[in-house]
Chain A
Amino acid sequence: MNPFDIALFAAAIRLSVPLLLAALGELISERGGVINIGLEGMMLFGAYAAFITAWATGSVSLGLAAGIALGLLAASIMAFVSVTLRGDQIVVGVALNLLAAGVTMFLYRLQFQGTQPTTVRMEPYAVPLLSDIPGIGPVLFDQLPLVYVAYVLGPIVAYLLFRTRGGLRVRSAGEKPEVLDSTGVNVVRVQWSGVLAAGGLAGLAGAFLSVGQVGLFAENMTAGRGFLALAAVVFGQWRPYGVVAACLVFGFTDALQLRLQSMGELPREVWIALVVIGVVVAAAGVWRARSSGSPLRWVLLAAVLCVVAGGLGAAMLPSFVLPSQFWLSLPYVLSLVALAVAGRGVRAPAMVGRPLPSRG
């Protein structure tokens, strides 16, 4: 049985969307020099606020707005303590994760006393004409409305960061804040806006999980997706389209993982896909080595390994089951390997994790 059918790709897109929303916001924040370990917490806040509002009012759009609002509120705490007061970004992020886990659990149990009510949820919207394209139409264009927002968000963030004055300021704040400061720009305000962008989008991502997909809330329902989004920023090497690609890859492995759990051993198509991935990685590596002179050795080694393992697997069909934990940790392994292989050319913005120099 071929696991690569239309339903798989539809699931992959659905799983990518919350990652995309959160990761693109986090990209802006990190480009501005603030790493937001509390992304997970902000998503959880967003999921909770969206659920409770939709439950109380019966309106999905009010729920989404509430999700964004609480994400923004959590981001203001983050920005106030880490940017204005120059507290440690990492520590504040850890605190926000604890805060979100604690507050949402406390309020949810207080309100519902162990029951788990459902509420309205978002209806899919089929884009006229586009959704009639055979094959990709139903996959790409018969989805929840928020999915379409996610489609255009990548280009929007890329435009904002690299084609506008505000984007230039954000990027300068992340690399050389003292230069930005010397041009008379309020660096604190620039970093605030980056953190707020991350918080609002993380809140929306959380809202997508609760009222967007299932119409209910569960304790710790983000289940590590905030960390996955953080990893996507790393894997995407702090570039908008890189982040989009990373989120799609992560969403796809997640969907594949869910699918394979029900299938037992690995079908031949998965092994063949591994060969294809090896070839693509090699091509991309050669192309990048030509254009930017980045080292080729490790990339080629990885590609050859992929091709050989995939070829052997497809030929012999070894009967073993990869545990789900393999697939769940794959995004993090990929991110670390990508960072380690990329070398010093690719790195986090210089100010990430460091407080601004205090003035006076």
Chain B
Amino acid sequence: MNRQALRGLLVSVLAVVLALAASLAVIALTGAPVGKAAAAMWDGVFGSPAQFGATLTKFVPLVLAAIGWVIASRAGRLNVGLEGQILAGGTTAAVVGLYLTGLPTVLHLTIAVLAGAVGGALLGGVAAWLWARRGVNDFIATLLLTLIMTQVVSWLANGPMEEPTGTLGQSASVADSARWPVLLPRTTLRADIILVIILVLVAAYVLRRTVVGYRLRLTGANESAARATGTRTTLVGVAALCASAAVAGVAGSSLVLAAPAANLAPGFSAGYGFDGIVVALLARNSPLGCIPAALLLAALRQGGGLLEARVGISSGLVTATQAVVILLVTGTAWYADRRRSRSRPPGAADVAAPVAEGARS
């Protein structure tokens, strides 16, 4: 692990510790018993197998959304619309799960998950097209598409896809053959977490060890250099946006196919797309780092629920804590990303440095 990565880790850990300490201080200020609040948080995450299973269930969409952000941002693209792509992926997965019946379990589930990826990628593809062909900012396009997609899902769940009685404002449950099998009995944890871990490993491998990943990172790090070495940077940007959206789409499919109700309801994502950005940031855009970071955020989300029930502290505090973590990490990015430029002794530099020195003089 090099010095820069170590600094990044330090910053992330410090940010989390500071933010948690600050929120404990706030709890103390309100007069609520701090010890009891901390115990409630702990029980909310680890108190019982069911609680821990619920934490891991929240981990799944978080880590996938984070991987989506990492893929796009490594290529220099800002995919703020992960939330919309999650919604799109969940919708296509629900369509396949509801209306394509009579298939054997494994096949049906596979098709439904793939449909989720395709649904996400389609919405990401629209943004990518707008960006590449029409010169629209990637973050403006993805954000607007998210706002549109929220309405589309609300319409589908209240209209064409509503369950037969037409009163609940959500779709019927998908066919059993399209649902993820339960992994831990008596918890909400389902087998999709295995797929998720595999996806994270694949993303880490592709980004780090393959030519495609190299070109992607090169495009993000220095676009003109990438173009000069023969990388088609626009194509890379489009591919990165689509891949990022596809991963978010898988997250959406999990939110439908692995949920207890397994149906399409308005707002079924509840901000996972935006929280995924927090996770990626905390992991400093490292795919493997997303795993611990997502676990942490999932625990915060899960533990926050019990905090409200037991101590009467609203879960808004947990949301605010997340925000403080983002602000601390973003605000100190300059420190973690700082290159060893001045302190480096002459001669110890890598090959590029003397050339740059020469060009300047």
A residues within 8 Å of B by Cβ?
35, 37, 77, 80-82, 85-88, 90-92, 94-99, 101-107, 109-110, 224, 227, 230-231, 234, 323, 325-326, 328-329, 332-333, 335-336, 339-340, 343-344, 347-348, 352-353, 358
Contacts and interface: CB of A to CB of B under 8 A. Distances in A.
Contacts of A335: 144
Nearest to A345: B135
Contacts of A358: 334
Given A234-B140, A329-B147, A339-B136, A91 B319 contact: no
A98 B274 contact: yes
Contacts of A77: 327
Contact of B155 (A97, A231, A325, A352): A325
A64 to B, nearest CB: 24
Interface string B262-281: 00000000000010011001
Contacts of A231: 144, 147
Contact of B140 (A105, A326, A348): A348
A94 B314 contact: no
Given A98-B320, A105-B319, A109-B314, A234 B327 contact: no
B331 A99 contact: no
A99 B317 CA distance: 9
Contacts of B139: 35, 37, 90, 353
B244 interface: no
A105 B331 contact: no
B78 interface: yes
29 contacts: A37-B139, A85-B330, A87-B330, A88-B333, A91-B277, A91-B330, A92-B327, A94-B80, A94-B274, A94-B278, A95-B278, A99-B319, A102-B317, A102-B322, A103-B316, A105-B319, A106-B316, A106-B320, A107-B316, A110-B313, A227-B143, A227-B147, A325-B154, A325-B158, A332-B144, A336-B130, A336-B145, A348-B140, A353-B78
In the A-B complex, list the 4 residue pairs whose CB atoms are closest, starting with the nearest. A102-B319, A105-B316, A102-B320, A99-B323
Contacts of A109: 314, 316
A91 B326 contact: yes
B130 A339 contact: yes
A355 to B, nearest CB: 9
Given A37-B80, A105-B319, A323-B155, A336 B141 contact: yes
B130 A104 contact: no
Contacts of B281: 91
Contact of A329 (B141, B151, B319): B151
Interface in B318-342: 318-324, 326-327, 330-334
A77 B327 CA distance: 9
A96 B143 contact: no
B159 interface: yes
Contacts of A92: 326-327, 330
Given A102-B320, A343-B134, A353-B137, A329 B326 contact: no
Given A37-B80, A90-B80, A110 B314 contact: yes
A102 B147 contact: no
B contact patch SS: helix
A325 B151 contact: yes
Nearest to B275: A98
B274 A336 contact: no
A336 B138 CA distance: 11
Given A37-B80, A105-B314, A332-B148, A323 B159 contact: yes
Contacts of B324: 99
A329 B330 CA distance: 32
A314 to B, nearest CB: 25
Given A110-B314, A325-B151, 9 more contacts: A85-B333, A86-B333, A92-B327, A94-B277, A95-B323, A105-B314, A105-B316, A106-B314, A333-B148
B30 interface: yes
Interface in B107-156: 130, 134-137, 139-141, 143-145, 147-148, 150-152, 154-155
A contact patch SS: helix
A294 to B, nearest CB: 14
Interface string B241-271: 0000000000000000000000000000000
Contacts of B144: 231, 234, 332, 335-336
Nearest to A346: B135
B30 A110 contact: yes
B316 A328 contact: no
A325 B130 CA distance: 23
A326 B140 CA distance: 20
B322 A37 contact: no
Nearest to B79: A90
Contact of B323 (A86, A96, A339): A96
Contact of A80 (B80, B143, B331): B331
A323 B153 CA distance: 12
A246 to B, nearest CB: 13
A81 B330 contact: yes
Contacts of A323: 155, 158-159
Contacts of A103: 316, 320
Nearest to B133: A340
Contacts of A340: 130, 134, 136
A65 B141 CA distance: 35
Contacts of B148: 329, 332-333, 336
A101 to B, nearest CB: 6
Contacts of A85: 330-334
Nearest to B32: A110
B169 to A, nearest CB: 12
B326 A339 contact: no
Contacts of B78: 88, 90, 353
Contacts of B326: 91-92, 94-95, 98
A95 B275 CA distance: 9
Contacts of B155: 323, 325-326
Nearest to A105: B316
Contacts of A329: 147-148, 150-152
Contacts of B143: 37, 227, 230
